Amino acid sequence: MTQTRGTLLGLAAILLWSTAPSLLRLFSESAGAVAGAAMIYTLASLMLLVLRGWTPLRLYPRRYLLIGGALFAGYEVALALALGFAQDRTQAIEVGLLNYLWPCLTVALMVLNGRQRAKLWLAPGLLFSLLGVAWILGGGEGWSPAHIAANAAHNPLSYGLALAGALLWAVYCTAAKPLAQGTDAIVPFFMLTSVVLWLKFAASGAALPAVGGVGTVAALLCAAAVMALGYASWNRALAHGNLALLAAVSYAAPVLSSAFSAAILRTALPASFWQGAAMVTAGSLCCWWATRRTA
């Protein structure tokens, strides 16, 4: 019964996280990319504080707080701003999908540093995920480097931040467990992310946007809630759930997140996008299978 409850919480976390990019984008359209993200992470921090409580910082390993905190905040800030700075909703969904390169990048890093063995399936899996992103950026016109570069050049900041975020999260996933030594600093990490975003907003010199309207407030509350509840549920799942099942389901998140984003943002996506999303998912599953079979 305990494992079933833990597994259900893990599945709920995957569903919640799949809605987060579109909700963050939705609120940022009203509040601005930086201020909007700062508000969401501040509210999510307060929610996590209520759900998880506060652990004194001295009880965490110092290297975990410094290195893990920098990687976590760097990832969250990069993804939030990549979504917020996207030129339109379609581009925001593409940026969100680019973020999902992190699962196969995580596996590749673990293999490179000797912490995970893998069969030859890893290489084609990683390549297939990259080709899926290239297919989307190429608009289904093929894998022409010139065509892909031309599309990415429309907003290099958003695409660059999303790619950097995927790499940062892959490094975090690889490094966090040995650094943490059994602790979990998700609450102070969320607070650090909020502080970084507010500092960036203050440096911009912009005025604090007025947040009004039921729809805007609802988007803020929902975005913060899915992040806080997602992380809180996932931690319980890691402790008690069926990790093999959750790992397999999590690799379907690119398609799931894209479907939620298309519905929430009311955006029709071309067939080439769904083809690319399926390729990213298949490539990630291939990477997972390559390591699972040698475990």
pLDDT digits (tens, 9 = 90+) for 17-70: 889 999 999 999 989 999 999 999 999 999 999 998 999 999 999 999 999 999
Q: DSSP letter at 134?
A: H
Phi, psi dihedral angles at 251 (to 5 degrees) = -75, -10
**How many CB atoms neighbour CB 46 within 10 A?**
16
pLDDT digits (tens, 9 = 90+) for 228-271: 998 888 777 765 677 666 766 777 777 888 888 888 988 888 88
Closest to 106 in 3D by CA, of 34, 170, 24, 36: 170
Up-side HSE of residue 139: CA atoms within 13 Å toward CB? 10
The CA R_g of the chain, rounded to the nearest whole Å, is 19
pLDDT digits (tens, 9 = 90+) for 168-209: 998 998 888 889 888 889 999 999 999 999 999 999 888 888
Residue tagged 């999510």 (tokens): 44
Q: Is the pLDDT higher at 237 or at 293?
A: 237
Full-model pTM: 0.86
Query: Is residue 254 within 8 Å of 281, Cβ to Cβ?
Result: yes
DSSP for 60-90, please give it.
S-HHIIIIIHHHHHHHHHHHHHHHHT-SSHH
What type of residue is 69? G
Q: Is the pLDDT higher at 211 or at 225?
A: 225
pLDDT digits (tens, 9 = 90+) for 122-151: 777 777 777 777 777 766 555 556 656 666
Query: Is residue 234 within 8 Å of 246, Cβ to Cβ?
Result: no
